[in-house]
Chain A
Amino acid sequence: MDNHYSIYICGVGGQGIIKTSTIIGEAAMNQGLDVVMSEIHGMSQRGGSVSTELKIGGYNSSIIPKQGADMLLSFEPIETIRGLDKVNSETKIVYNTHPIVPSSTDKAYPSVDSITKTLKENFKHVLPIDGTQLAIEAGSVLSLNMVLLGAVTADDKFPLTKESVIDAMKNNLKPKFHEMNLKAIESGYKSIKG
């Protein structure tokens, strides 16, 4: 089962989730790996929860089965909780700790510390990062997706090289943002690798 790798990516509409996933997919293709991805457009994007699913290595279906993800990459704390049915005991859970409070008033937003504490009680690999802060330091909050992309590449089991991910980033994003995005990828990578 070498080179099989499934990533469930979730967050809020407008955070650059589809672009991030496309970059990973293109990098996989360029490394000669099979890859399929699923994304949702349309009504679900009006400020709602957004997710993509990416499967590398010999899959026909682009939908990750329950508990089937190797990596849960979440752009927003409570979206991590919503994505947990894709998680098993070995899944790496990487998430941005900066909340986007929904305008729904049905329930109060839980504290991020309590989310982290609860996740750590239940899973082995819980990796919170302040991606929004790292993105701001890299040059713009808009580079959050590249910070998180860098974090994915730091996982030992991730089958793609950082270089091919960077190449795919350059092929998909405007040249004037390359420097900032490189910085963001590096800082995300370091936040996991240390």
Chain B
Amino acid sequence: MNLKELVTGDSGEKQFLLGNEAAVRGVIEAGVSIAATYPGTPSSEIGNILSVLAKDANIYFEFSTNEKVAMEVAATGAVSGLRSFTFMKHVGLNASADSFMTTAYSGVNGGMVILSADDPSLFSSQNEQDTRNYAKLANMPILEPSNCQEVKDMVKYAFDLSEQFKIPVIVRTTTRVSHMRGIVEFGEVKDNSSNCDDHWKRGHFNKDPSKYVPVPAFAGEMHVRLWDKIHKIEEITNKTEFNQVISLSDEKKYGIISSSSAYNYAHDVCKFNNLDINILKLGFSYPFPKDKVAEFLSDLDEVFIVEEVDPIIERDTLAVVGAEKLDVTVHGKLDGTFPLYHEFNSDVVADGLNKLLNFKQDSEVNYSSSLEKLQEDIPSRAPVLCAGCPHRAMYYGVNLAIEELGLKPSDVVFASDIGCYTLGINPPYNAADYLLSMGSSVGDGCGFSVATDQKVVSFIGDSTFFHSGVSPLINAVHNKHNFVLTVLDNRITAMTGGQPNPGIPIDGMGDEAPEVSIRKLALACGCDYVRVINPFNLEQVIKTYKEALERNDTAVIISKAPCTLIKGLTKKPPVSFVEKNCNNCDKCVSELACPAISKINGKITIDTAQCDGCNVCIQVCKYGALEAGR
């Protein structure tokens, strides 16, 4: 499919779309004017696609420096009467939370939708937090699509709902919904082309501090209005077709209540095992549809709550059972029927249901002992830093500098951050000892430097530094903290697929943009020692770190070299191996650990397709067995 069809596709047309592509079509059908994000898996493709389509779709789009800014851009768009969209991964919602919470109070005029993508089983995240908790915390409606069609439909519906009740609406996906592909039938596109200055529509902000400025005198009233809205919306969740009973049986003994991707597993297990169970599917789960749930429970003896991640529907269902004094037993995560963590699948759901229903037939697998051995013996294939990655060169050099200063590994704490460079956790680099969140390496550097006598080296990427590394750097200087902050400036937001950031001269819509200098920022924060180095020059890396580690202030080292995955970079010729010079020390394989170098049948082999010609291995080899390609 050509991505432009997300803009030009007619109502009734069907496409095989990724969940995130379906979200974009929903945004376009809803006639959105403002969209802002900070990239984060599993939501990243939404931004990648919007950055390409924004102008065709009359949308202003930006990659904001962080999710809080993105939230504020969307919130102000919405109070100015424009449909506004912000989206992020689940932990991004934490970064935005301070403003997010207030948007529920101050409300909106144009529809505002916040898509938050959860990551059960942590495919690329630091935790499994459940966005549905935020719906309760902020008192904001939440929709939970299960498939790509619903992603499109619910995103679109969420804008109508938001506008009707003047409240932001959350759409919660999970990795398996964002990264599912399925058939999506397009609907009508709402026209957003009127009053366009540049390529997007302009709204107008009508001042009313009593509605928009949550000083204590006003915020108390705002909270009352918020509850009023939520009570009214609960009437909708009790009736909406997004909350419906999927009837698979005439029996009324057992039932299932489920949502999101977990519903898909529940549905398939029941359908393909011919189980006598009906399912209440909750697509619009907060405010909790208490009447609808009570009605569903009224005929049942036992109900299974099938949900990923936290037992949220389960607790709400227990509350309904208690309030209505229903005689129904609730099985879920809390009674151990289903696991309290990690994503579900059909096997997990079948195992849980089977504890009471005993429908599964044992299907033992008997493999030969040679296959069992083979399964144990295959080498792992974990993600690694790419061949030619500047981070590898840095980690190698920093470890050498530490060694040359006579320090032991335990003398130095590596505070890491969120990005490809977190892969430095792996041997042989062992360059990630502590990590909390985006930007935490800088604050962690502050803390370790006062809490211990250990040296501290923090690693943060360029995009992450802009995201939330600057204010802790100011803290570091002002409070006289002693550590080395490394900014791994690879000229891109790499791990999420290569989005621009304020350090490069292009914005989220592909237009030229002012480049914000990390060096000047560090100087402006008051750092006396700021060095920009070439990570591929090993001697320079070692010398600079030795210098910085002997200082007693906040030293900043900026490693500046582009990510090898940036398109259009000229590739240097691959390194060649000179066998006669090889001393079999294996340093290039075991200490540098570049995926382009391996030892096959006792001989060093360069994978010329992978080798990027960074030439760091040449500096590692003391015997001249590796030579620059020509």
Which A residues contact B (CB, under 8 angstroms)? 12-13, 21-22, 25-26, 29, 34-49, 58-63, 65-68, 78-79, 81-82, 84, 88, 101-110, 114-115, 118-119, 121-122, 171-172
Q: Are B182 and A46 in contact (CB under 8 A)?
A: no
Kindly state the separation between the CA atoms of A61 and B266 in the bound complex, as whole angstroms.
9
Least CB distance from B191 to A in Å reads 28
Q: Which A residue's beta carbon lies closest to that of B385?
A: A46
Take A42-B123, A122-B368 as given contacts and tell me if A48 and B383 are in contact as well, using a CB distance cutoff of 8 Å. Answer: yes
Residues of B within 8 A of A106 (CB): 379-380
Q: Which chain A residues lie closer than 8 Å to B497 at the CB level?
A: 41
Bound-state Cα–Cα, A103 to B599, Å? 9
A37 to B183, CA, bound (A): 10
Query: Is A61's CB under 8 angstroms from B182's CB?
Result: no
CB pair A45 B265 closer than 8 Å:
no
Please tell me if the beta carbons of B378 and A36 are within 8 angstroms of each other in the complex.
Answer: no
Contact B16 A25 (CB under 8 A): yes
From 288 to 338 in chain B, residues with beta carbon under 8 angstroms from any chain A beta carbon are none
Contact B590 A60 (CB under 8 A): no
Given contacts A60-B267, A106-B379, contact A40 B16 (CB under 8 A): no
Show 6 A/B contacts (Cβ-Cβ < 8 Å), sorted by A. A29-B183, A43-B124, A47-B595, A62-B182, A103-B384, A104-B384
Residues A40 and B123 in contact in the complex (CB < 8 Å), given A103-B598, A122-B371? yes
Q: Are B371 and A119 in contact (CB under 8 A)?
A: yes
In the complex, A29→B261 CA distance in Å?
21
The residues of A that contact B381 with a CB separation of less than 8 Å are 12, 47-49, 78-79, 102, 104
Report B170 CB to chain A, min CB distance, Å.
Answer: 22
Return the chain B residue nearest A81 by Cβ: B378
What is the bound-complex CA distance between A108 and B374, given in angstroms?
A: 11
Most buried by A among B268, B375, B385: B268
- Partner of A62 from the list B42, B180, B600 (CB cut-off 8 Å) is B180
Q: For the complex, what is the distance from the CA of A106 to the CA of B379, rounded to whole Å?
A: 6
Judge whether B284 is part of the interface by a CB distance below 8 angstroms: no
Contact A46 B179 (CB under 8 A): no
B383, A43: Cβ atoms closer than 8 Å: yes
Q: Which 7 A-B pairs have the closest CB atoms?
A: A42-B41, A42-B124, A46-B383, A61-B264, A48-B383, A103-B595, A60-B264
A34, B183: Cβ atoms under 8 Å? yes
A121 contacts which chain B residues (CB < 8 A)? 368, 370-371
Considering only residues 561-593 of chain B, those with a C-beta below 8 Å from chain A are 589-590, 593
Given contacts A38-B180, A81-B374, contact A26 B346 (CB under 8 A): no
Q: Are B350 and A65 in contact (CB under 8 A)?
A: yes
The minimal Cβ–Cβ distance linking B135 to chain A, given in whole angstroms, is 24
Chain A residues within an 8 Å CB radius of B263:
60
Nearest to B420 among chain A residues (CB) is A46
The SS class assigned to the B binding surface is mixed
Closest to B589 in A: A105
Identify the B interface with A (CB < 8 A): 1, 14, 16, 18, 41-42, 44-45, 123-124, 146-147, 175-176, 179-183, 261, 263-265, 267-268, 271, 345-347, 350, 363, 365, 367-368, 370-371, 374-375, 377-386, 420, 423, 495-497, 589-590, 593-595, 597-598, 600
Q: Report the separation of the CA atoms of residues A29 and B124 in the bound assembly, to the nearest whole angstrom.
A: 30
- A-B CB contacts (within 8 Å), total count: 169
Residues of A within 8 A of B42 (CB): 41-42
Q: Determine whether the beta carbon of B179 is less than 8 Å from that of A26.
A: no
Complex contact B384–A63 (CB within 8 A): no
Contact of B379 among A25, A29, A36, A102 (CB under 8 A): A102
Residue of A nearest to B377 (CB): A107
Q: Which of B181, B367, B382 contacts A36 (CB 8 A)?
A: B181
- Across the interface, which residues of A come within 8 angstroms of B1, CB to CB? 26, 171-172
Known: A29-B183, A43-B495. A81 touches B384 (CB 8 A): no
**Are the CB atoms of B378 and A78 closer together than 8 Å?**
yes
Q: Does the CB pair A62–B264 fall under 8 Å? A: yes
Contact: B598 with A45, CB < 8 Å?
A: no
CB-nearest residue of chain B to A59: B268
Contacts of B365 in A (CB 8 A): 67
Which of chain A's residues has its CB closest to B382's CB? A48
- Measured between beta carbons, the chain A residues less than 8 angstroms from B45 are 41
Inter-chain contact B378/A104, CB cutoff 8 Å: no
Take A37-B182, A42-B495, A107-B377 as given contacts and tell me if A60 and B268 are in contact as well, using a CB distance cutoff of 8 Å.
Answer: yes
> Is A108's CB under 8 angstroms from B379's CB?
yes
| Cβ contact within 8 Å between B268 and A118 | no
Q: How far is the CA of A44 from the CA of B182 in the complex (A)?
A: 22
A149 to B383, CA, bound (A): 25
Question: Which of A44, A45, A102 has the most chain B CB within a 10 Å cutoff?
Answer: A102
Contact present for B590 and A105 (CB under 8 Å) = yes
Which residues of A have CB within 8 Å of B264?
A: 59-62
Query: Taking CB as reference atom, which chain B residue is nearest A84?
Result: B375
- For the complex, give the distance between the alpha carbons of A39 and B594 in Å: 27
B382 engages A38 (CB within 8 Å) = no
Residues in B with CB closer than 8 Å to A45 are: 383
Complex contact B496–A103 (CB within 8 A) = no
A118 touches B600 (CB 8 A): no
CA gap between A66 and B183 in the complex, in Å: 25
Q: Which residues from B are CB-within-8-Å of A63?
A: 176, 265, 345-346
CA distance A70 to B345 in the complex (A): 18
Quick check: B179 and A39 within 8 Å, CB to CB? yes
Inter-chain contacts of A101 with B (CB < 8 A): 379, 598, 600
Contact B176–A82 (Cβ < 8 Å): no
Question: Which residues of chain A come closer than 8 Å to B371, judged between CB atoms?
Answer: 84, 118-119, 121-122
CA distance A50 to B268 in the complex (A): 24
Q: B271: which A residues are within 8 A, CB to CB?
A: 58
With a cutoff of 8 Å between Cβ atoms, the chain A residues found around residue B420 in the complex are 43, 46
Shortest Cβ distance from residue B399 to the other chain A in the assembled complex, whole angstroms: 17
Contact A107:B378 (CB < 8 A) given known A29-B16, A65-B347:
yes
- Are A40 and B268 touching (Cβ within 8 A)? no
Whether B181 contacts A47 by the Cβ 8 Å rule is no
Q: Let me know if A118 and B267 touch, CB within 8 A.
A: no
Which residues does chain A contribute within 8 Å of B594, judged by CB atoms?
103
CB-CB under 8 A from A119, the residues of chain B are 371
Closest beta carbon of chain A to B193's beta carbon, Å: 29
On whether the beta carbons of A81 and B346 are closer than 8 Å, the reply is no
Q: Are B179 and A36 in contact (CB under 8 A)?
A: no
Provide the residues of chain B in CB contact with A61, threshold 8 Å. Answer: 261, 264-265, 267-268, 345-346
- CB atoms of B383 and A44 under 8 A apart: yes
Q: Bound complex: CA of A62 vs CA of B268, how far in Å?
A: 10
